[in-house]
Amino acid sequence: MAHSLISPALNLGLLDPLEVVHAAEQRYRDSVAVGDPLPLNSVEGFVRQVMGWRDYIWHTYWHFGRDFRHANALAAHEAVPDWLTDLDDGAVDAACLSDVLGDLRRDGWVHHIPRLMVLGNYALQRGIDPLAMTDWFHRSFVDGYDWVMVANVVGMSQHADGGLLATKPYAAGGAYIDRMSDYCGGCRYDPRKRLGEDACPYTAGYWAFLERNRGRLAPNQRMRRALQGLDRLKGLEEVVEQERLRGTEAI
Amino acid sequence: MPQDPAVGHGVPGMPRPAEADPALAAFPAQAPATRRWCFADQLGPHFLDRPDQPVLLIESKAVFARRRFHRQKAHLVLSALRHRAAELGDQAEFAQVRTYAEALDRVREPLSVCAPTTWSSRDHVLRRPDLTVLAARGFVATQEEFAGWAEGRGRRRLLMEDFYRDNRRRHDVLMDGAEPVGGRWNLDHDNREPPPSDGRLAVPEPWWPEEDEIDAQVRADLDRWAADGDVAFVGDDGPRLFPVTREEALYRWRTR
């Protein structure tokens, strides 16, 4: 909810991650000493981002070698649409995507969760080429660098590495976005609907994504329940056709 | 976490760990008797071996022409590089050129560089004669430490959580002896509370930087490059939101 906004400074090399981590710990220990402890979950969460995630993403960029960036385990080959390339939030009706894209256009930065849940989730569902998305994230974010984005986009966000970094794809329907945000209330799409004019493209897109990748995801234990849900879904053919027609047009 | 036999190392068609790649050689740690070329993401004091070490900074227009960057990203990177050049004064040779090679060809003294942050830039520095490439800086674990950890995982998944604990132990961060402070390694669960119903938390407004004459020059240059058609951007221009000097970075960090 509250963020340090120091990722660009770390990635420009202005701050050293260890000094930042040591300073955070010192402040925590000082707060304990004076009997007014900072919340340990906040301190640990920060330390985890800097000496856990950031360092892990850096090392996996090298460890998985030169071909890591070309991994495309879900055979996603769609081009990045122009409205996304141009950060054209005005072309987008979906409240979540329009808001996140608008913030990105204005600031060159949004927090990690909208990157994953709204932007990455969209590309994953629509089958956009993961390397093209890696380049898009690299260019569009002030803290984006090749080493940052290959592991984060190919691995964490697009599941193009077939599960080297994350145990299952970060694909989610509109109901999840509704639960985790306050976007859906005023949106022209209904996160509970998967068919029709007001069907949420994230909800319908989620099912179309599962159907397209059914065979690739079937061996993954953690996808079993989602695929069982897919088997029981009424009107799947219509949903798939609706989303095929929608493609990567602005939603 | 349970093992998933469908994922992990050695799966056909999946990327494999790089072996014996020259970009991943065991580079030396220091070269204090050289001029240090610092890339635009190597701007802090920890990229030098001594505070008065001579520095080379290169501003390459070709880097901005290759890709359509967010306007504010181009501004941030250029502003940070030029601020570092101004801060170092005579200690730095600051070359504003089209390509890196133009600047490097002019250097007539021993030159070193900390291993840069992309595959292509590592290949580039390794191709240059008379350039000493040093181990990467700016991260917590060394390449050897990560490799040792990954080796120790065997065929098990390279879990971030396990690597993170390794880093915590190695650097004694939030540790009480061998145990994590508070008794638990992972407090993510406590960070998943729903937001207040009005969507607002009582968090103070962050500190925002103030632009200076270097920023004004960067803005004018980027406007001109775009008008000339040399470089194209996405996104809006706007007041700079992020630190470009170590002083600003420390200020933002400490006033959090």
Note whether A234 contacts B: Cβ–Cβ < 8 A.
no
Tokens 């070490």, located at residue: B53
Between B47, B174, B245, which is nearest A44 by CB? Answer: B174
Look at residue A105 and tell me whether its pLDDT is greater than 50. yes
Please report residues of A whose CB lies closer than 8 A to that of B38.
Answer: 13
How many CB atoms lie under 10 A from the CB of residue B193?
9
Last residue of a domain, one of A47, A63, A79: A63
State the pLDDT confidence band at B10, using cuts at 50, 70 and 90. very low
CB-CB contact of B207 with B252 (8 Å): yes
pLDDT the model gives residue B195: 64
- Domain carrying residue A166: 67-251
Q: Characterise A5 by phi-psi region: left (phi > 0), alpha (psi -120 to 50), beta (else).
A: left
Residues A162 and A244 in one domain: yes
Q: Domains in chain A: how many in total?
A: 2
User: Alpha helices, DSSP H only, in chain A?
Assistant: 7-11, 17-33, 40-47, 55-63, 82-85, 95-107, 112-114, 121-126, 130-140, 146-149, 174-180, 201-212, 214-217, 224-232, 236-246
Interface probe for B, chosen from A22, A31, A44 (most Cβ of B below 10 Å), is: A44
Share of chain B above pLDDT 70, in %: 88
State the pLDDT confidence band at B188, using cuts at 50, 70 and 90. confident
State the pLDDT confidence band at B6, using cuts at 50, 70 and 90. very low
Nearest CA in chain A to B23: A62
CB-CB contact of B7 with B25 (8 Å): no
C-alpha to C-alpha distance for B240 and A163, rounded to whole angstroms: 38
Residues 78-117 of B with CB under 8 A from A: 80, 117
A56 in any annotated domain:
yes
The average confidence (pLDDT) of chain A is: 94
**Per-residue model confidence as pLDDT tens digits over B15-39:** 455 568 999 999 999 999 999 999 9
DSSP B171-190: TT-SEETTEEGGG-S--GGG
Tokens of B176: 């009480």
Tokens of A244: 């095929």
Note whether B40 contacts A: Cβ–Cβ < 8 A.
yes
Residues A243 and A186 in one domain: yes
Nearest CA in chain A to B7: A163
Interface probe for B, chosen from A4, A14, A87 (most Cβ of B below 10 Å), is: A14
Tokens of B174: 């939030």
Between A45, A55, A165, which is nearest B191 by CB? Answer: A45
Best CA proximity match to B143, nearest among A23, A142, A147: A147
Q: CA B202: distance to chain centroid? A: 32
Please report residues of B whose CB lies closer than 8 A to that of A133.
Answer: none
Best CA proximity match to A120, nearest among A142, A143, A96: A96
Note whether A37 contacts B: Cβ–Cβ < 8 A.
no
pLDDT top residue among B5 and B155: B155
Look at residue A244 and tell me whether its pLDDT is greater than 70. yes
The average confidence (pLDDT) of chain B is: 89
A68–B164 C-beta distance less than 8 A: no
Cα A58–A62–A67 angle (5° rounding)? 125
Report the range of poorest mean pLDDT among A64-78, A158-172, B43-57, B73-87: A158-172
For A241, the 3-state DSSP assignment is helix
pLDDT the model gives residue B3: 37
Q: Which amino acid is at A3?
A: H
Residues A108 and A207 in one domain: yes
**Per-residue model confidence as pLDDT tens digits over A140-151:** 999 999 999 999
Residues A137 and A55 in one domain: no
Note whether B251 contacts A: Cβ–Cβ < 8 A.
no
Report the range of poorest mean pLDDT among A120-134, B84-98, B195-209, B221-235: B195-209
pLDDT top residue among A161 and B45: B45
Can you tell me the ipTM of this complex?
0.93
A2 in any annotated domain:
no
> Which domains does chain B possess?
27-138+204-256 (3.40.50.620), 143-191 (no CATH)
Spell out where chain B has E strands. Answer: 35-38, 55-60, 69-70, 92-97, 111-114, 131-134, 175-176, 179-180, 233-234
B182–A162 C-beta distance less than 8 A: no
Nearest CA in chain A to B77: A12
Query: B38 vs A19, A74, B46, B163, CA distance in Å?
Result: 20, 38, 11, 29
State mean pLDDT over B245-249: 95
Best CA proximity match to A189, nearest among A176, A201, A177: A201
C-alpha to C-alpha distance for B243 and B248, rounded to whole angstroms: 5
CATH number of the structural domain spanning residue A185? 1.10.579.10
